[in-house]
C-alpha cells in the first residue's frame, strides 16, 4: 500500500489531521489499533477552545457541533464558600469556548471521513514505523490476518501517550519532562440536567470538584480522589453525597441526581517530550504531551499540533517548502509549554494537597482571592482558558 501521509491512531488528532489533509487533496491512510466502536466508547474531554472550533469548521465538521454544542462565555470558581464568575467574553474581547464532547467530535470526524471514502484501517495489530530518517519511511502492521507494508512520505504519530510512535524514536534523541500529581479524578457521567448553565470549578478542604456537562440533559461531574482509590468503591449514592459536600449549599440544593452511565478514575500528570519529531515522523497530541485536565487543555493542545502539522504539510505539498519541516517541534512546543503552565497552575491552586490546613493551603486561598479580585488576574485566567493564539510556522 502507498499513501502520502501515514497516520497512526484514529483519536481526535489522527481523524482531524486526516480530514484536513484530505480536503487539501493530500492522500492519507489512518491505521488504528482498536475498533471504531471502542474508540467511540471512550468518555473524555468536552470543552473546545475557539481555535479548535475554527479548525473543525475548516475540516467541514461543524454542523452538529453548531446544532448541539453549547457556547459558554463564562465559568465559575468556587472557594472559601464564595462563587466568582470568570466572564470569558468580556475579558478577552469576545472569545468563548464550546462545550461539545470529544466522543461527538470523534463521531463527526469518522462520519466525514467515511463520506469522502478515505481509508481507516481499524484493529491493526503490531503497527511499527520504519526508516524514519530516510526519504522513504514506511509502516508495517497486521490487518485481517495479513502483514501489510504501507509506504509513505511522512508519518504522523497520533497514537496517544501509550502509542508506538514516541517509543520508536531512539531514547538518546528525546528528553522527557514529567510531573505526577498525588491524586486522580473520579469522573461520573449521568443523564441528569447540569446543576448550572456554566462549569463550576470548586476548591474545598475535602478536595477539588468540577461540575461540567455534555448537553442540556447530560452532566459530567468529577471529584479529586487519592491515587489508590477504586472505582468499585464508589456507588452512585456515595459519589453524589461527596459532591454535595464539596459544593456551596445553594449549588448542592439544586443538584439533580440519578443513575450513572459511566464512572472512571484518571490519574493526573504533566508530561512533555522534546523534540516532537524525528526524521519524517511527527508526534501529535497525547503522543507528545499530557496535561492534568484542570485547564481543559488536553484535546485542545492536540488540535493546535494538528493545526501546525496540517499547515506544514500543505506548504510542503503545494509549495515545496520542505525547509519548514524542521520548525514543527519548536512551533508546537512554544504553545504547549504555556498550556502546560496553565494546567499545572490551575491544578496547584484548586486541589487539596494535604489533609491538614498548612502553609500551602493558605497560599492557595490567598492566590484565589488575589486573582479573582484583580482584573489582571481574571484576565490571565480567561485568556488562557479560551486558548492562546496558534503559533505561526514562519
List 201, 221, 328, 390, catalytic entry:
201
Is 293 part of the annotated catalytic residue set? yes
Binding mask 93-132 for ligand FAD (x = CB under 6 A): ---------x---------------------x--x-----
Is 385 part of the annotated catalytic residue set? yes
Per CB under 6 A, contacts with ligand FAD among 7-26 are 8-14
Nearest alpha-carbon partner for 291 in 169, 180, 386: 180
User: Which residues are paired to 72 by β-bridges?
Assistant: 97
For ligand FAD, the closer CB: 9 or 74: 9
Is 154 part of the annotated catalytic residue set? no
* 266 belongs to the binding site for ligand FAD (CB under 6 A): yes
For ligand FAD, the closer CB: 251 or 276: 276
* 292 belongs to the binding site for ligand FAD (CB under 6 A): no
* 384 belongs to the binding site for ligand FAD (CB under 6 A): no
* 251 belongs to the binding site for ligand FAD (CB under 6 A): no
* 215 belongs to the binding site for ligand FAD (CB under 6 A): no
Report how far residue 128's alpha carbon sits from residue 142's, in angstroms, rounded to the nearest whole number: 10
Binding mask 151-170 for ligand FAD (x = CB under 6 A): -------xxx-xxx------
Q: Would you say 136 and 80 are in contact if contact means Cβ atoms under 8 Å apart?
A: no
Quick one: 299 exposed, middle or buried, by C-beta within 10 A (0-12, 13-18, 19+)? buried
Q: Which of 101, 207, 298, 387 binds ligand FAD (CB under 6 A)?
A: 298
| Least Cβ distance, residue 183 to ligand FAD (angstroms) | 14
Nearest alpha-carbon partner for 199 in 43, 387, 93, 47: 47
Report how far residue 38's alpha carbon sits from residue 25's, in angstroms, rounded to the nearest whole number: 29
Q: Total number of residues binding ligand FAD (CB under 6 A)?
A: 32
Q: Which of 1, 23, 27, 34 binds ligand FAD (CB under 6 A)?
A: 34
Q: Would you say 7 and 152 are in contact if contact means Cβ atoms under 8 Å apart?
A: no
What Å distances lie between residue 212 and 110, 181, 262, CA to CA? 25, 22, 14
List 138, 154, 181, 385, catalytic entry:
385
For ligand FAD, the closer CB: 99 or 164: 164
Q: Would you say 33 and 143 are in contact if contact means Cβ atoms under 8 Å apart?
A: no
For ligand FAD, the closer CB: 80 or 196: 196
Q: Would you say 3 and 27 are in contact if contact means Cβ atoms under 8 Å apart?
A: yes
Category of 222 on φ-ψ map: left (φ > 0), alpha (ψ -120 to 50) or beta: beta
Please tell me what DSSP assigns to residue 14: H
Q: Which of 112, 132, 213, 296 binds ligand FAD (CB under 6 A)?
A: 296
C-alpha distance across the termini of the chain, in Å: 34
| Least Cβ distance, residue 156 to ligand FAD (angstroms) | 10
Q: What angle do CA 60, 72, 96 make, to 5 degrees?
A: 65
* 50 belongs to the binding site for ligand FAD (CB under 6 A): no
C-alpha cell belonging to residue 62: 461543524
Active site residue ranges: 72, 201, 293, 297, 385
Residues that bind ligand FAD (CB under 6 A): 8-14, 31-34, 39, 44-45, 102, 124, 127, 158-160, 162-164, 266, 285-286, 293, 296-299, 302
Amino acid at each position: 500500500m502507498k499513501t502520502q501521509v501515514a497516520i497512526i491512531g484514529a483519536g481526535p488528532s489522527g481523524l482531524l489531521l486526516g480530514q484536513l489533509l484530505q480536503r487539501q487533496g493530500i492522500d492519507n491512510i489512518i491505521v488504528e489499533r482498536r475498533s471504531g466502536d471502542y474508540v467511540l466508547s471512550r468518555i473524555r474531554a468536552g470543552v473546545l477552545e475557539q481555535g479548535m472550533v475554527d479548525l473543525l469548521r475548516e475540516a467541514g465538521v461543524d454542523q452538529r457541533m453548531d446544532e448541539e454544542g453549547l457556547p459558554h462565555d463564562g465559568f465559575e470558581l468556587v472557594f472559601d464558600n464564595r462563587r466568582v464568575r470568570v466572564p470569558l467574553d468580556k475579558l478577552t474581547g469576545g472569545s468563548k469556548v464550546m462545550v461539545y464532547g470529544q466522543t461527538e467530535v470523534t463521531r463527526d470526524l469518522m462520519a466525514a471521513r467515511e463520506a469522502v471514502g478515505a481509508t481507516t484501517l481499524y484493529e491493526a495489530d503490531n503497527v511499527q514505523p520504519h526508516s524514519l530518517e530516510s526519504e522513504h519511511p514506511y509502516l508495517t502492521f497486521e490487518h485481517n490476518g495479513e502483514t501489510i507494508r504501507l509506504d509513505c512520505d511522512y508519518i504522523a504519530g497520533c497514537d496517544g501517550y501509550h502509542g508506538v510512535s514516541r517509543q520508536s524514536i531512539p531514547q538518546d534523541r528525546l528528553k522527557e519532562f514529567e510531573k505526577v500529581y498525588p491524586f486522580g479524578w473520579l469522573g461520573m457521567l449521568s443523564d441528569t440536567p447540569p446543576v448550572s448553565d456554566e462549569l463550576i470549578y470548586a476548591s474545598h478542604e475535602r478536595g477539588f470538584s468540577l461540575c461540567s456537562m455534555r448537553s442540556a440533559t447530560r452532566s459530567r461531574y468529577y471529584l479529586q480522589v487519592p491515587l489508590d482509590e477504586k472505582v468499585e468503591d464508589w456507588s452512585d449514592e456515595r459519589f453524589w453525597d461527596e459532591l454535595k459536600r464539596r459544593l456551596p449549599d445553594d449549588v448542592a440544593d439544586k443538584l439533580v441526581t440519578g443513575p450513572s452511565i459511566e464512572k472512571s478514575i484518571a490519574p493526573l500528570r504533566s508530561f512533555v517530550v522534546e523534540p516532537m519529531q524525528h526524521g519524517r515522523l511527527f508526534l501529535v497530541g497525547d503522543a507528545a504531551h499530557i496535561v492534568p485536565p484542570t485547564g481543559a487543555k488536553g484535546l485542545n493542545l492536540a488540535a493546535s499540533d494538528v493545526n501546525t502539522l496540517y499547515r506544514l504539510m500543505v506548504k510542503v505539498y503545494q509549495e515545496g517548502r520542505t525547509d519548514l519541516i524542521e520548525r514543527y517541534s519548536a512551533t508546537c512546543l512554544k504553545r504547549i509549554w504555556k498550556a502546560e503552565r496553565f494546567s499545572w497552575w490551575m491544578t496547584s491552586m484548586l486541589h487539596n494537597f494535604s489533609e491538614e490546613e498548612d502553609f500551602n493551603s493558605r497560599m492557595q486561598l490567598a492566590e484565589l482571592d488575589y486573582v479573582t479580585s484583580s482584573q489582571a488576574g481574571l484576565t490571565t485566567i480567561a485568556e488562557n482558558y479560551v486558548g492562546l493564539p496558534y503559533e505561526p510556522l514562519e
